Amino acid sequence: MFKIIPEGEQTFERTQIKRVWSLVYKDDSAYASYYAEWPLGPRAEFEVRIHIVLGKWGDGAIPAHRFLVFVLYRDTPKPGFMIADADGGADDYKALGSRVLSREAVLADDEIKRSVFELLDQIWDQDHRIKWKS
Domain ranges of the chain: 2-126
Residue 76 is predicted with a pLDDT of 78
35 has a pLDDT exceeding 90 = yes
Helical spans, DSSP H, in 1-134: 103-108, 110-126
pLDDT-derived band at 88, boundaries 50, 70, 90 = low
What are the two backbone dihedrals, phi and then psi, of residue 91, each rounded to the nearest 5 degrees? -60, -25
- Average pLDDT of the chain, as a whole number: 88
Using CA atoms, how far residue 56 sits from 2, 11, 20, 82, 125, in Å, is: 16, 30, 22, 24, 24
Contact 40, 16 (CB under 8 A): yes
46 has a pLDDT exceeding 80 = no
Q: How many residues does the chain have?
A: 134
131 or 72: which carries more pLDDT confidence? 72
88 or 120: which carries more pLDDT confidence? 120
